[in-house]
Amino acid sequence: MSKKFTGPKGTRDFLPYYMETRDRIVEMIKEVFKIYGCYPWDGPAFEYLETLTRKSGEEVSGEIYVFKDKSGRELGLRFELTASIARMIAGNPSLKKPIKGFSIGKVWRYENPQQGRYREFLQMDADIFGASNMLCEVELLDMAKNILGRIGFEDYCIQLNNRKILAAQVRCAGIEQEKELDVFRALDKLNKIGPGGVRQEFLNRGMSEKAYEDCMRYIITRGTNQEKIDEMRGLLAKDEKGIEGLNELSQILEYAKEISLDKRILVDYTLVRGLDYYTGPIFEIKIGKGEQVGSIAGGGRYDQLIELFGGTPTPAVGISFGIERIIDLVESNPVLSERYKGTPPLLLVIYLRPELSGHAFRITEAVRQAGLSADIDLAMRSFKKQIQYANEKGYPYVLFVGEDEIRNDSYGLKDMKTGEQEVLRIERLIERLKGVGRPA
């Protein structure tokens, strides 16, 4: 019995027809990025390890695929796209700002694979450099709204918080500053391990149960977004940075109200996001309650990252879309999966006998040269099996090529949906198919 080979753990295969779903979603997102004035960029799939760990956080650093090149230099596969573009912006100070960029690329994280979480996955990012106004955040969230609407997602929620508020909550809870990141990392696991698990995380990280209780009194709030902000203003009244973070949330909500986006936003003080480079507003987007695959997009402000790579002080904010998670949700939705499933070429040219395949190929080429998608049976199957294949694959049209058709230079075009058939010369055939409106 021969050995069955599978892909590495945490990776997935995209067969040809499923790949079309992915490509169509990627192109849709790229179109929206361009509508908002974003320019494409790209960078290497691996970076110096120091670049990747500069401000990633201990847990993410432990998930990086690390290796050495033949000269002994330590490198790592990128675990996200932000570090690369931050390095590039830092190294090119002459770029006119503000600048908007977008990128698409595979990233890698050595973590436990589960539903919606892979070790190799595709991300699409959009970033804005050189502007500190909260309108930037709303621009990115409005972009996300446009993208989700185009894909077909209607039930989604944007969770919103601010790292300045989180830091202020830690201070006001009386927890020493050197434990701030430990608190963040514990809170970041709240949805996975629950309050009891977070309590244990506090203890494991050298903090007391009282520190946990005091911190959670600031974190857990209820009511409308405005009520949550008002309540937190009272709790953080003496913390200047905390009030600054609350003012930023209020600005975001005010801008969002102008475009009716505020109804999608939920202020959530439990939102942390795992990367250490965030300095201000942070956000995540979930479809429904997010129970199936978690968040499908997220990001935030990272105003100090460019300086860490030797650049001049540059405010920055970005959003990242997890394409694999989006595809998982599309494929699990019968309506959306049908919308994005692979589509065959517009025309299948069928020859009645194998000896006529050369002439049929010439017609297929003429249709393709006209910019239309066309196919021909390459397996030299019988006429009956070619018809069967056309039905199984769902070709909209078939063209019959036999001796009489070649002699008369006119060919039978059949609409496979209606069963209607008409006889056309090649020039008229091409005009007819162009009228259908499905180019290659």
Show the tokens assigned to 389. Answer: 């294949």
What integer pLDDT is reported at residue 2 of this predicted model?
67
Distance separating alpha carbons of residues 252 and 280, to the nearest angstrom = 12
CA distances to 348, 382, 402 from 385, in Å: 13, 5, 16
What integer pLDDT is reported at residue 1 of this predicted model?
57
DSSP secondary-structure letter at 117? B
Find out whether 297 and 157 touch, Cβ atoms under 8 Å: no
What integer pLDDT is reported at residue 117 of this predicted model?
83
* Cis ω for the linkage preceding 396 (within 30 of 0): no
Under DSSP, is residue 359 helix (H, G, I), strand (E, B) or coil? helix
Show the tokens assigned to 177. Answer: 């500053």
What integer pLDDT is reported at residue 60 of this predicted model?
77
Q: Single out the residue of 132, 91, 84, 81 nearest to residue 310, CA to CA.
A: 91
Class of residue 180 by CB neighbours under 10 A (exposed 0-12, middle 13-18, buried 19+): middle
Find out whether 229 and 267 touch, Cβ atoms under 8 Å: yes
What integer pLDDT is reported at residue 271 of this predicted model?
94
Q: Is the dihedral of CA 250, 251, 256, 259 positive or negative?
A: positive
What integer pLDDT is reported at residue 104 of this predicted model?
96
Tens of pLDDT along the chain (440 residues) come to 567 899 999 998 888 878 888 999 999 999 999 999 999 999 999 999 999 988 776 667 889 999 999 999 999 999 999 999 999 999 999 999 999 999 999 999 998 887 778 999 999 999 999 999 999 999 999 999 999 999 999 999 999 999 999 999 999 988 988 888 889 888 888 888 888 998 998 999 989 889 899 899 888 889 999 999 999 999 999 999 999 999 999 999 999 999 999 999 999 999 999 788 999 999 999 998 766 778 999 999 999 999 999 999 999 999 999 999 999 899 888 989 888 877 889 999 999 999 999 999 999 999 999 999 999 999 999 999 999 999 999 999 999 999 999 999 999 999 999 999 999 999 999 999 998 865 55
What integer pLDDT is reported at residue 18 of this predicted model?
80
Residues facing residue 160 across a β-bridge: 267, 283
Show the tokens assigned to 97. Answer: 């700002």
Angle made by CA atoms 83, 87, 89, in degrees to the nearest 5:
115
What are the percentages of helix, strand and coil residues in the chain, rounded to 5?
45, 20, 35
DSSP secondary-structure letter at 238? T
- In this prediction the pTM is 0.89
Domains of the chain and CATH, by start: 16-155+288-338 (3.30.930.10), 347-434 (3.40.50.800)
Distance separating alpha carbons of residues 337 and 20, to the nearest angstrom = 11
Distance separating alpha carbons of residues 320 and 427, to the nearest angstrom = 47
What integer pLDDT is reported at residue 290 of this predicted model?
65
Show the tokens assigned to 28. Answer: 């849709």
Q: Single out the residue of 121, 85, 118 nearest to residue 103, CA to CA.
A: 85
